[in-house]
Each structure stands twice: as structure tokens, then as C-alpha cells.
Amino acid sequence: MTTARWESLSALAKPTLATLFAQDEARAARYSTLFEVGAGSEILFDWSKTHLDDAHIAAFEALAQEMAFASQRGALFSGQVVNPTEGRAAEHTAQRFVGSPVAVARAREDHGRMEALVKAIHAGEHGEVRHLIHIGIGGSALGPALVVDALARKDAKLDVHVVANIDGCALEAALAKCDPATTMLAVASKTFTTIETLTNAESALAWLQAAGVANPRERVVALTAAPEKAQGWGVEEGRILSFPESVGGRYSLWSTIGFPIAAALGWDGFAALLEGAAAMDRHFRDTEGAANLPLRAAFADLYYARLRGCQTRAVFAYDERMALLPDYLQQLEMESNGKSVTAEGAPLEGPSAPITWGGVGTDAQHAVFQLLHQGTNLVPVDFIAAIAPGDALDPAHHRILLSNCFAQGAALMAGQASEDGARAYPGDRPSATILLDALTPASLGALIAFHEHRTFASAVLLGINPFDQFGVELGKAIAKRIEAGNASFDASTQALLERAKIA
Ligand code: F6P
């Protein structure tokens, strides 16, 4: 039945963007939605420059029905098992207090402990703390890094550094900016077994020790779903902020993994981030059909991946403060939906997630946009910007930034004919624009939650499980065998090991 649905979707006419706009004067308004974030602040979601039309929307809505979207979404919010390969619920929305009563109660308790610790640190009850080195990787780093960089560039309550890579150059760079006498460490790991994080944490402790700090482990806060492992590693129970197993790593910035966010912004800022995300949760939970913003975005994503053969989708933040958003979305989307089997383990009949990539505007215009305008790959693009400037310089900066953002979407769509092939722009290239009134904790929370739900909606339409990530395990296991020094490999790998003298 689903295969038939994809066949009928493929068979639909695919008018050009110019035709879609010519046929419908109201298209810009009909395919745009203003989302109320709270306190009079809105986000505009404009999907009019994509090739979605009413026929495709209707067919995708029918697909959603066939894939039991409403009941899958209900299962997500009510804490049922939605990650069957690991037998787990996925309760990140409960961290925003939208979810099953049991999960919400646990989240309130965990957040209460985090709030008390953050406020005590700010009140000086833990001595003078000026720097926080947050050590974690993947989902235990990308969210905090994004949000701190976006919202705490000015007036941060603490100087936060996020260290992920096992490459010692990463930790050294952070240590060089911190004074050991006033530095606290947050060790963030859902499993508390990740080699990169534990190795970096040991080295950071050694740095404190070498600087003469008495009892360096008392400077550590552990953020984890495995509190017993953190205790075993030497963190005292009172400084372990735990969260439930049912919060996935790449969905965890709302949990105690968000400790550095609260430390940098203050508790009210963190609470506003959660509330913005909760507003998007309620919209996603309660809105039917294509009026549901994450679901409509998933329709567009699958239209391009499945019906137009697009292997990538690009995201450009026209806002320096959101420069880390493409990195964050790469993990969210590619680790969630980069699968080739269904939730039941059967091979997928078509592509799953495209490759997510992107950068920051206007920089990217002068580097990679050539391919977007004239290359042979069709790449759907999301532009993300804020109307209110983040800087206090001449307003020309922000005006030029936004003009360029909007110009790119217009140019991709309109193209330009020329007798000279090298100077011709084919046009009819899609983009969506997400325009925030202002970048605030609430709007960023809503924006990130929008992407979480978009990823989930795509997974439901594809019939895959977005909440496991077994694809990362094989490489880890092989690296362990190399570390143990008791395995032999293919001739190429063996030669590399010998040349680097780690065999
Ligand atoms: O290796 C992938 C992964 O498991 C991610 O899913 C996760 O976010 C990251 O590693 C870090 O894991 P942990 O928080 O358990 O240290």
C-alpha cells in the first residue's frame, strides 16, 4: 500500500516554482505560517519557494495516514516505546514538561536539582567560579555548544568552553583560556563510558592538580543517565545531575546536559529555552495535516529526497550566532535517519535522510553557493535569519545581511537566462525561509524543537526508527581492538598503523 502511495506521488505533475506562483496569487501567504513563540514574538516559516503544491500535500497527508502518523506521534508524547530496537521511549519533550505525567514529574525533579546547583554557583556558594569547561561529545556537546554560542556571546554569567574531540589540541585550547583557580568541569556523557570524554576529563583533572588545586574531583559536575558509573569514576553523589535513559543523546540539551546553558544564561534563560520548545511541542502534538509545521517540512524533505533524487539538503544561518546550527542538525538528522532498514528491519525501498550540510551566510555565498546556483545537483536550501540584529554596529550590517539572505532565495528560484551558458542560471531551485523576529532563548528553543519533530515526522513517513544509532558502533569496536594491540587488519590499515607506530 505504501509503495503504491510512493508510486502515485512520483506520478504527480511537478510544476516549476514559477508556474506554482503564477497559478496562485496567494501562494506566498498560503505556504507561510506565523508561529507564536510567546511574549509577542513570532517565527515565520515560509515554504512557498519549495515545489510542494496542493496535490503533493494531499498525497503526503494520505501517506502520513497510512504510516499511522497520529498514533506514532501519540506514542512519542505518551512515553510508549518508539525505539523498538532498544526497547525504549524517547522522552525529550518531557524535559520541556510536555509528555507523560511520570516523565514530566521526573524531569521537574532533575531540573530542580540542576536549578539549585546553578543558582548556588552564581551566588558564589562554590567559591569563585569564572570558567566552566564542559566536556562531552556528540549529543552531549553539540546542543550546549550551539545554544551557548548563540545566546551567551554577551553578558554570559560564566565563561563556558565546550570540549569534544579526543585530539588534545581541543582541550589544550580551552585550558589556555581558563584560570585553574576559578574553573569548574562539567563531564557530560549519557553512558559515562565514552572514551573521548573520560580521557579529556582525566586530563582536565590532571591540569587542575598540576596547578595546585586541592581535591580537583570536587570541581567536577557529572551530567549523565548512568549516575552509578559517574560515582564509580569518583564524582560525589551530590554533584551528579542525572537524566533518564529515555532521553536520547542528540535530543538531550533540554535535560541536565543543558547545565552549561543554564550556567551561562542564568536559570531564567534556560527556562525560556524550554518554554519555546514546549510551544513547538504543543503545536506539533495538536495540529493536524500540513498545517503542522514539522510535518509539512518533512513532506518537503521527502519530496526532494524521494521524488527529485536530492542526496543533500543545505542549511544556511544568516546569523553569526547560529553558526553551529548546521553542525547540530547534522547529528540530529543524519544520526537519526541515516538508516537503510525499516523499524522492522526490512530493507528500505528508497532513500532515507539526505546528507545535511551548510554554513553561515553571507560567508557561504562567497564559497559554496556557486554549486547551488549552477551545479548539476539540485539542493533544497533552508535559510534561517532573525529580523532583530544581534550587533550594535551601524544598522547597515544587518540590513545587508538580510538583503543577501532574501536575494539568494529569489535568485535560486528565478534564475536568469543567458546565451552564454557559463553565465546562465537555470533557476527553479527550491528554498525555505525561517525568519525569527529575534534570536532569543524562546525562539531558539522553538527552532530546535521544530527540527527534532521534523526529523521524527520524516522517520514516521519512511517507517524507520530515528532513535537508535547502531551505525556508530563498528568503528568504535575496531578502534578498541587497535588500542588493545591484539588484532591484525587488512594490508592498508596494517601499513597505516605501522607507519604511525601505533601497531
Ligand atoms: O557514538 C555516538 C554517540 O553514542 C552519540 O549518539 C552520543 O550523542 C555520543 O556518542 C556521546 O555519547 P555519551 O553521551 O554516552 O558520551
SS3 (DSSP) at 57:
helix
> What does the pLDDT look like over 276-286, one tens digit per residue?
999 999 999 99
Beta bridge partners of 356: 313
Q: Greater confidence, 264 or 480? A: 264
Kindly state the DSSP code that residue 354 receives in the 8-state scheme: P
Angle between helices 293-302 and 441-462 (to 10 degrees): 50
> What does the pLDDT look like over 488-502, one tens digit per residue?
889 999 999 999 988
> What does the pLDDT look like over 387-440, one tens digit per residue?
999 999 999 999 999 999 999 999 999 999 999 999 999 999 999 999 999 999
The answer to whether 184 touches 150, Cβ cutoff 8 Å, is no
Q: Does 383 have pLDDT greater than 80? A: yes
Q: Does 162 have pLDDT greater than 70? A: yes
Q: How many CA atoms lie within 13 A of 438 on its CB side?
A: 12
Q: What totals of helices (H) and strands (E) does the chain contain, helices first?
A: 20, 11
Q: How many angstroms separate the Cα of 20 from the Cα of each of 14, 17, 32?
A: 10, 5, 14
Phi, psi of 457 (to 5 degrees): -60, -40
Distance CA 320, CA 146 (A): 11
Q: How many CA atoms lie within 13 A of 37 on its CB side?
A: 26
Q: Does 85 have pLDDT greater than 80? A: yes
> What does the pLDDT look like over 338-380, one tens digit per residue?
999 999 999 999 999 899 999 999 999 999 999 999 999 999 9
Catalytic residue among 7, 25, 344, 366: 366
Among 444, 466, 463, 464, which Cα is nearest to 455's?
Answer: 466
Q: Does 16 have pLDDT greater than 90? A: yes
Residue 486 has what pLDDT?
74
- Asked about 366 being catalytic, the answer comes back as yes
Q: Is 466 in the pocket of ligand 1 (CB under 6 A)?
A: no
> What does the pLDDT look like over 441-463, one tens digit per residue?
999 999 999 999 999 999 999 99
Q: How many CA atoms lie within 13 A of 92 on its CB side?
A: 25
Residue 503 has what pLDDT?
66
Q: Does 485 have pLDDT greater than 90? A: no
The vertex-243 CA angle with 238 and 249, nearest 5°, equals 130
Residue 348 has what pLDDT?
94
Distance CA 121, CA 94 (A): 26
Q: Is 331 in the pocket of ligand 1 (CB under 6 A)?
A: no
Residue 502 has what pLDDT?
83
Name all domains of the chain by residue range, CATH numbers in brackets. Answer: 2-66+287-468 (3.40.50.10490), 93-271 (3.40.50.10490), 472-503 (no CATH)
Residues 6+ apart with CB under 8 A from 284: 73, 292, 293, 294, 295, 449, 453
- Asked about 335 being catalytic, the answer comes back as yes
SS3 (DSSP) at 317:
strand
Catalytic residue among 49, 335, 452, 453: 335
Nearest CA owner, ligand 1 atom 2: 472
Expressed in angstroms and rounded, the spacing between residue 34 Cα and the centre of ligand 1 is: 35
Q: 341 in the Ramachandran plot: left (φ > 0), alpha (ψ -120 to 50) or beta?
A: beta
Q: Is 72 in the pocket of ligand 1 (CB under 6 A)?
A: no
Catalytic residue among 476, 480, 483, 498: 476
Residue 397 one-letter amino acid? H
Residue 39 has what pLDDT?
82
Q: Is 226 in the pocket of ligand 1 (CB under 6 A)?
A: no
Helices (H), 35-153: 54-66, 69-77, 101-122, 142-151
Expressed in angstroms and rounded, the spacing between residue 72 Cα and the centre of ligand 1 is: 25
Nearest CA owner, ligand 1 atom 5: 138
Residues 6+ apart with CB under 8 A from 418: 424, 425
> What does the pLDDT look like over 28-78, one tens digit per residue?
999 999 999 988 899 999 999 999 999 999 999 999 999 999 999 999 999
Kindly state the DSSP code that residue 333 receives in the 8-state scheme: I
Distance CA 347, CA 353 (A): 14
Chain position carrying cell 555565498: 365
Q: Which atom of ligand 1 is nearest to the CA of 476?
A: 1
> What does the pLDDT look like over 305-334, one tens digit per residue?
999 999 999 999 999 999 999 999 999 999
Q: Does 336 have pLDDT greater than 80? A: yes
The answer to whether 52 touches 212, Cβ cutoff 8 Å, is no
Expressed in angstroms and rounded, the spacing between residue 101 Cα and the centre of ligand 1 is: 27
Distance CA 48, CA 28 (A): 5
Q: Where are the beta strands (DSSP E) in 256-391?
A: 312-318, 355-360, 381-386
Q: Is 250 in the pocket of ligand 1 (CB under 6 A)?
A: yes
Residue 1 has what pLDDT?
55
Phi, psi of 303 (to 5 degrees): -55, -50
Provide the mean pLDDT of the chain: 97
Residue 40 has what pLDDT?
87
Residue 487 has what pLDDT?
78
Distance CA 150, CA 180 (A): 26
Under the banding of pLDDT at 50, 70 and 90, the label for residue 153 is: very high
Q: Is 194 in the pocket of ligand 1 (CB under 6 A)?
A: yes
